[in-house]
Amino acid sequence: MPFFEPGDLEPFERTIRCGIASLGDGVILLTAYSLAALRGGHAWPWQAAKMPYAVYFGFGLVVAIAVEMIATSLPANSFLSWRYSELMPHEPVTGLALIPIAMWTIVPALTILLVCFARAEPD
């Protein structure tokens, strides 16, 4: 949270906004996983095929970048917008915030690792 500006929101409003963002992240992750399954079948995490992985990571990154661009361009008092604090690192050419982009690389990778280690390959 130190990378985001709370603005003049009350703590309850901040909690609601973070909850909405978390639900959105979950929907993006589930959609990316489902699209990869459409391309690689239900057992794609256990297979060596590269295309489902490209779909999974590519979709998540593209949507995450689009959401960041849209949310930071909405008016500051909009319920679906956010701003970054001075602590947020930015990519120098495009100005994109690096923490959300990094999270959309780390969290999906960890999700796949958990899926692969949680149970044996399906029949």
pLDDT digits over 16-42, tens only? 888 888 898 899 999 999 999 998 888
AA identity, residue 121: E
- The encoded tokens of residue 19 equal 């909850």
The per-residue pLDDT for 1 is 73
The per-residue pLDDT for 123 is 55
The per-residue pLDDT for 94 is 82
Q: Are 9 and 79 in contact (CB under 8 A)?
A: no
Q: How far apart are CA 11 and CA 40, in angstroms?
A: 43
The per-residue pLDDT for 120 is 61
Three-point CA angle 63, 4, 20, nearest 5°: 50
Three-point CA angle 85, 90, 92, nearest 5°: 145
The per-residue pLDDT for 122 is 56
Q: Find the DSSP H helices in the chain.
A: 11-40, 50-73, 98-118
Q: How far apart are CA 60 and CA 91, in angstroms?
A: 18
The per-residue pLDDT for 121 is 56
The per-residue pLDDT for 117 is 81
All residue ranges of the chain with pLDDT < 50 are none
Domains of the chain: which residue ranges? 42-123
AA identity, residue 59: F
